[in-house]
Amino acid sequence: MSSLQYAFSAGIPVMLLGMGIVFSVLIILWAMLELFRVIFYEMPKKRVAGPTAPAAPAPAPAASAPAAQVKKQEDDSELIAILTAAVAAAMGTSAGGLRIRSFRRVGRSDSAWSAASRKEQMEALL
């Protein structure tokens, strides 16, 4: 028997044994997780849709609406100026040649830890 044949004949049972152990442990873990799901998982209770009266919308004050719109436009123009200055500073050019045509506000869905980490990374780059 050559050494290559001996290596394969000795290696294949070891490989099969190792794969068998790995899959056995995976099956045991899966069974434990399923058991935990059965024991600890609570089914969500279905809501019973009862008759509810829709709330009447509150009338909007007509006099304050134009004032709020003017304030919003002023805030947006200030924000556009700030965005233009920031883009110009990042690009290393003057703000005269730049024009912000639109912007969109996005809600903050990250946690305080994420924001702190982002701030720390940005300060490390400076």
Report the pLDDT value the prediction gives residue 70, as an integer from 0 to 100: 60
Low-confidence ranges of the chain (pLDDT < 50): none
Residue 84: how many CB atoms within 10 A of its CB? 15
How many domains, in total, are found in the chain? 2
Report the pLDDT value the prediction gives residue 40, as an integer from 0 to 100: 87
Residue 87 lies in a domain: yes
Report the pLDDT value the prediction gives residue 19, as an integer from 0 to 100: 97
Domain extent for 16: 1-41
Report the pLDDT value the prediction gives residue 126, as an integer from 0 to 100: 74
Residue 109 lies in a domain: no
For the entire predicted model, the pTM comes to 0.33
Residue 1 lies in a domain: yes
* First CA to last CA distance, the chain: 68
